[in-house]
């Protein structure tokens, strides 16, 4: 790791001010991707501005069916929230299967979606749930937020403060983990809200998380695993690497979608 200067921000304003002062700073939340990248000397920010201690960015708020999760909330906190589990167990289950216990106690929802790893789990949930991403500058629908592999709409001095969504009637997430990293090789989040089905896929697509409208149309009229089986998954849109080619990933998308629908009930 190259030398860097660590700052603990006390508020989002403080964090933005510190960013402006520093030469080449990065915001860090759980650091579960950034710190290993720095250890491998593939990133060398002059300063790290830690967002995990900003109280306003932490915690889960529930108001009727509306859920707001502070960006600095850890995966472990999301996984173990019984109030949230009553309303939307799918997101708790998803959070409970990110990485390992160490990662879940350090990593945060804001950090995960800001990084937009094409194999991360949360982006699928955000799009599947039709969530809104709230930042220091604006509020964006998840679909506008995730731009492409490791790319988001965030500007350099913009911080995610929270995400919010309306709990769906039913939802589930099913993932097939990469045997080495245990990131998703294909992770499918399905949700049904008032006759409107959503299917969001992570891990498999060659340009990051995406919605599968073919499956959504099929599920909107017939919520069943069989409905998904007949959908086409375009191999041309799939990643291909040493862990699985595009054809295999296309198959996994379909199988994970089926299993998610079955799990959602």
Partner 1 sequence: MSEGIGARVLRKEDKRFITGSGKYTDDVRETNQCYAAFVRSPHAHAKIKGINKSPAEGMPGVEAVLDGKQLTGDGIGNIICGWMIHSKDGSPMKMGAWSALATETARYVGDAVAVVIADSLARARAAAEAVEVDYEILDAVITTEQALADGAPQLHPEAPGNLIYDWEIGDKEPTEKAIADAAYVCEMEITNNRVAPNPMEPRSAVATYSPSEDHYTLYTTSQNPHVARLVLSAFYQVAPEHKLRVIAPDVGGGFGAKIYIYPEEIVCLWASMKTRCSVKWTADRSEAFLTDAHGRDHVSKARMGFDKDNRIVGFQVDTIANLGAYMSLFSSSVPTYLYATLLSGQYDIANIHCNVRTAYTNTTPVDAYRGAGRPEACYLIERMMETAARDLGIDPAELRRKNFIREFPHQTPVIMAYDSGDFEANLEAAMKAADYAGFEKRRSESASQGKLRGIGMSCYIEACGIAPSAAVGSLGAGVGLWESAEVRVNPVGTIEILTGSHSHGQGHETTFPQLVSDRFGLPSDNVQIVHGDTDKVQFGMGTYGSRSGAVGMSAIVKALDKVEAKAKKIAAHMLEASEGDIVIEDGEVKVAGTDKKLGWHEVCLGAYTAHNLPEGMEPGLKEGAFYDPSNFTFPAGCYICEVEVDPETGTTRIVQFVASDDFGTIINPMIVEGQVHGGIAQGVGQALLEQAVYDESGQLLTGSYMDYAMPRADDLPSYMVSHETTICPGNPLGIKGCGEAGAIGSPPAVINAITNAIGNNALSMPATSAKVWQAINAANVKEAAE
Residues that bind partner 1 (CB under 8 A): 1-3, 40-41, 176, 178-181, 183, 242-245, 248, 251-252, 255
Residue 196: CA atoms inside 13 Å, Cβ hemisphere, count? 8
Contact 256, 212 (CB under 8 A): no
Min CB(206)–partner 1 separation in Å? 17
- In whole angstroms, what is the distance from residue 196 CA to residue 212 CA? 13
What is the rounded CA–CA span in Å between residue 214 and residue 70? 32
**Integer Cα distance of 68 and 165 in angstroms:** 7
CB of 1 or CB of 56, closer to partner 1? 1
Closer to partner 1 at the Cβ: 64 or 179?
179
Q: Would you say 154 or 199 has its CB closer to partner 1? A: 199
Instruction: Kindly state the smallest distance separating residue 181's Cβ from partner 1, in Å.
Output: 4
Q: How far is the CB of 241 from partner 1 (least distance, A)?
A: 8
Instruction: For the CB of residue 247, give the shortest distance to partner 1 in the complex, in Å.
Output: 8
Q: Taking the complex as a whole, how short is the minimal distance between the CB of residue 228 and partner 1, in angstroms? A: 12
φ/ψ of 3, rounded to 5, equals -65, 145
Q: In what order do the strands lie in the sheet with 210-211?
A: 170-177, 184-193, 196-202, 210-211
Which is closer to partner 1, CB of 215 or CB of 252? 252
- The two tokens of residue 193 are 């809200």
- Of 144 and 245, the one with the shorter C-beta distance to partner 1 is 245
């Amino acid at each position: 790791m190259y030398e860097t200067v660590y700052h603990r921000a006390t508020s989002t304003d403080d964090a933005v001010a510190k960013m402006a002062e520093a030469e080449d700073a990065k915001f860090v939340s759980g650091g579960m991707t950034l710190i290993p990248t720095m250890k491998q000397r593939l990133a060398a920010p002059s300063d790290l501005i830690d967002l995990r201690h900003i109280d306003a960015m932490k915690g889960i708020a529930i108001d009727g069916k509306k859920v707001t999760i502070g960006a600095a909330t850890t995966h472990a906190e999301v996984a173990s929230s019984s109030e949230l589990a009553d309303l939307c167990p799918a997101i708790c289950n998803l959070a409970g299967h990110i990485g390992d216990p160490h990662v879940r106690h350090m990593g945060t929802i804001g950090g995960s979606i800001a990084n937009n790893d094409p194999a991360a789990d949360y982006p699928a949930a955000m799009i599947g749930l039709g969530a809104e991403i709230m930042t220091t500058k604006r509020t964006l629908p998840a679909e506008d937020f995730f731009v492409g592999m490791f790319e988001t709409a965030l500007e350099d001095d913009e911080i995610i403060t929270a995400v919010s969504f309306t709990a769906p009637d039913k939802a589930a997430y099913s993932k097939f983990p990469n045997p080495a990293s245990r990131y998703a090789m294909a992770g499918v989040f399905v949700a049904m809200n008032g006759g409107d089905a959503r299917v969001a896929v992570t891990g498999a697509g060659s340009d990051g998380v995406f919605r599968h409208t073919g499956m959504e149309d099929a599920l909107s009229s017939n919520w069943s695993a069989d409905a998904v089986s007949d959908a086409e998954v375009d191999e041309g849109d799939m990643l291909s690497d040493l862990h699985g080619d595009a054809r295999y990933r296309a198959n996994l998308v379909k199988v994970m979608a089926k299993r998610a629908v079955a799990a959602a009930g």
